[in-house]
Structure 1
Amino acid sequence: MRRFSVALLAVLFLSQSLAGPLQAAGRRFLAADSSKKTLALIDEDGQTVWQHQIGPLHDLHQLADGHILCQLNWTRVVEIDPATDEIVWEYDAATANGNEGKKVEVHAFQRLADGNTMIVESGPARIIEVAPNGQIAREIPLKVENPHPHRDTRLVRKLDSGNYLVCHEGDGVVREYDATGAVVWDFPVPLFGRQRRKGHGLEAYGNQCFAALRLKNGNTLISTGNGHGIIEVTPAGKVVWQLQQDDLPGIRLAWVTTLEVLPGGNIVIGNCHAGPDNPQLIEITRDKEVVWTFHDFKRFGNALTNSQILAIDGKPVRNSVR
């Protein structure tokens, strides 16, 4: 009987090892996957508590009142009340504020402290802050060297300083702009001596950055998109920390998308286009230890680009950086 128990434990251990890191419970989060056209709130037991049908999406936020700021396609940004599933505010960049007939896509937006909404328009290459009535309160032009309505930008965040930190996917550069549109800092994402390879999955390679966060120490954390990793760079442009494609045991990174730095310092990353053998969301320590993963190819698929951690073990997550 003892031999049988030992053998059974060995089989279970082997099967878990082949499946990758164990998926821990205890995270409530918001996530979206364009391939399954699904935006959903997942509770700490892994159950879906709310979902909404979407189209292509590259940004999302749960607001302080519980409403969800997201997009339903490349131009339509909406605020949804999950309690009623009603849209309570919306802005369509396809036709608003001079964009009629232009090629435009939105890949980033943010509700600001003054109640206005920052919307970043690829194609017109501008950041606009719109009032609740949809009128432009501020407009900031962007510098784009390789213009394309799908690739001008990815995530953009307004900093506490009032500046804007912009990921330019097509240029492979992170630029910081002041309120006049002047570039006050930039960082070309390195290829680290490797050749570019086409594709979106594990086979691809490039520097098409997706997200950038300004850390409390003044450094900038960047997800390198199809560079399969994360880098932390100083204001002088020195790389002082790096996560690469095969640094995490049992996990391979593909198109690394959104970043979130939790109050305790752990980093949550989106592992998009990595295939069904790899988790879509991963939480790691600064020592590159995996503490939590989300791996679900039934509700979500191979295009889970964005997430936001809302609570850990019943405690709301506040003041994360994302």
Structure 2
Amino acid sequence: MKISLCWALLLSLTASAGLAAEPSDRLVLVGASYGKNVLAICDIDGNVLWKHKTAGPKRGHAGHHDVHLLPNGNILFHDSWTKLKEITLGKKIVWEYDSANANGNRDRRVDVHAFDRLANGETVIVESGVGRIIHVDRDGNLVKEIPLGDGGRKHTRLMRVLKNGHYLVCAENPGTVTEYDEAGDIVWEYEIGTRVFGAIRLDNGNTMICSGNGNSVVEVSPEKKVVWEISKTVPQTDITLGWMTCLQELPNGNIAVGNCHAGENNPQIFEITKDKQVVWQFDEWDLVGNGLACWQILDAKQSALVRRQLEQLDP
């Protein structure tokens, strides 16, 4: 097992950047495919605390593109291109939904790359190809349907529900990040022109984008001006950027970045400050290989919940 950056160095770097260090008990939830087909929860140094083998995709070589730790400690993931599952840390399936056979999709080609669970219990699912965002209840009933835009926008990657209830959706072709309102109208869009994978709305109101095969991470203002960017490599490091996937804004203001398909010599996730200092790396090639597209860094509260539940499992 490779430990990419010792904790002492992390403390030193975050202190020099004037930021509060993240707690050392930070946990990382990962969902890897491309033959690995595994969910795992690791500590800050990459030690595996929990692992679950998944079915993996049924077509092609791509794989899991989204994963969420739920407030109850369960994990929401997709076990194939169309089937979502919620499992406990004891690996009991407590909910599942198959977009291939539900709510009018039986004779239609559909892929699911993104989803989320709302506080009201509804699950939001982006059905690529079909070209819609749906809300379903615990029984799988269709509660709401939001159409995606034309011109390639029906073929999506990551989606995140914003604080205002809108949907921030990435479409690989034509390479757009689009904000839809609750009626499906486009209220903001940025065309990056690459096979864009992920985007989040930052606390400062800007949008941070992982450009997929563009090998870059770009922050743009509401006026669509680029205000921050890394491209091809990370300055003052030997990190080469591969297929850029997920993003997460951390409590300390840093950004965690997914670096998929970058090869064995590069971390699969790294944390970077706004002055472009890398302060933490997740580099666990043996566990996730070259196909770690989706993951979630758990905050202190989530990490404590997971640790408690793991301790309560039968040995």
The TM-score range, normalised by the shorter chain, is 0.7 to 0.9
Q: Taking structure 1 as reference, are residues 87 and 21 closer, same or farther at Cα in structure 2, changes over 3 Å only?
A: closer
Is the Cα–Cα contact under 8 Å of residues 29 and 311 in structure 1 kept in the other structure?
Answer: no
Deviations 1:84-142 (A, max 9, x none): 20110011001000100211000000001111000000011000010111011110000
- Structure 1, gaps ≥5 residues long: 1-18, 191-206, 318-322
Task: Give 1:46's aligned residue.
Answer: 46
TM-score norm. by structure 2 comes to 0.84
1:268 and 2:259 matched: no
Aligned to 1:161: 164
Q: Report Cα offsets for 1:237-264 as digits up to 9, x if no partner.
A: 1111111111241110010100001011
| Change in 2 beyond 3 A, CA 1:267/1:255 | same
Q: Is the 8 A contact 1:156 1:165 kept in 2?
A: yes
Residue 314 of structure 1: how far off its partner (Å): 10
Quickly say closer, same or farther: Cα 1:316–1:86, change in 2 above 3 A: closer
TM-score (norm 1): 0.82
Amino acid in structure 2 at the alignment position of 1:33: A
Q: How does 1:24-43 map to 2 (within 5 A)?
A: 24=7, 26=24, 27-35=26-34, 36-43=36-43
Question: What is the 5 A alignment of 1:78-117?
Answer: 78-82=85-89, 84-117=90-123
The CA deviation string for residues 52-106 of structure 1, in whole angstroms up to 9 with x for no partner, is 1221210000011110010101100110101x20110011001000100211000
> CA-to-partner distance for each residue in 1:144-193, whole Å, 9 max, x for gaps?
31377xxx001111111111111011220011111111111111015xxx
1:287 is paired with a residue whose SS is coil
Provide structure 2 residue ranges, at least 5 long, that are not aligned to the other structure.
11-23, 57-62, 306-315
SS of equivalent residue, structure 2 residue 287: coil
Q: Distance in 1 between matches of 2:203 and 2:148?
A: 25
Q: Aligned partners of 1:20 and 1:275: how far apart in 2?
A: 16
**Contact 2:3–2:46, Cα closer than 8 Å, also in 1:** no
1:216 maps to 203
Q: Aligned-pair RMSD on alpha carbons? A: 2.1
Q: What percent of counterpart residues are identical?
A: 47
Contact 1:117 1:129 (8 Å CA) reproduced: yes
Alignment of 1:1-322 (within 5 A): 22=5, 24=7, 26=24, 27-35=26-34, 36-54=36-54, 55=56, 56-82=63-89, 84-146=90-152, 152-190=155-193, 207-248=194-235, 249-311=237-299
SS state of the match for residue 195, structure 2?
A: coil
Query: What is the aligned residue count?
Result: 279
